[in-house]
Structure 1
Amino acid sequence: MSSLDTVLAAGRRAAEARMRETVRLYSQAADSFDRASGQTVPGAKADLYTGKARVKAIAASTGQETEAGEREIVLREYEVQLPWATTLPSGTRVLAGMRIEVTASPDPRMVGLILWVTGASFSDQSTVWRIRTEDRS
């Protein structure tokens, strides 16, 4: 093991120690409309990862106001950090539009937060797997 590998391993352990939230990464099929009930039926969800993470607001993000449907929403950016060695089911990649739900956190206000994936970065010299997301509430 090279000195770089030793330093990266220590950094990855330290980064994992800061992961205090539990999240669920999932994809969701398109919603459908049930004519009989007149209701929109949410698409099926496929869980890709459930486990520890660190969820942090991006400091430079002030929130962008935009319109969705007939209501105003504010987009706030978050970075979700997963353990570097996290693997997904074979053939699956993190794609924009997937979602991350915070299922547990020391900050109870974060529980239930749904974040929409906007991108992910990969690097063999990272200490965590960083996924860019936005809160569309």
Structure 2
Amino acid sequence: MDYIHLNEMEFYGYHGVLPEETKLGQRFRVTVSLAVNLSEAGKTDELDKTVNYAAVYSVCQSVVEGKPLKLIEAVAETIADEIKRKFADKVFGVRVVLVKPDPPIPGHYASVAVEITRGRFV
């Protein structure tokens, strides 16, 4: 299995349970890993033999900057679903790490995050 990684994409969205999160918004960081077969792309040097990571970036951006959801779990699941749907012929599995760097909760921590894996990863 081969992998494509899009690391720490940053977007601004309005996801959250608390009213200030949906009104003021906040930053989100997304890392996506795709389980794919890159052998044909490597041999042919042709973009149509791989997954265009600019298109994957656009999927992530549209979800995070789109319709507000309450839970980051739901945001991550929506990203995974959209990637699986749009790239079903090439992507065997998708892993999404969604980081909320500044959640409105008291305490000292770097961030909160969820990680989900859908499909086949080896």
Name the TM tier (shorter chain): under 0.3
Q: Tell me the TM-score normalised to structure 1 length.
A: 0.23
Structure with greater Cα Rg: 1
Q: Tell me the TM-score normalised to structure 2 length.
A: 0.25
Q: More helix by proportion, 1 or 2? A: 2
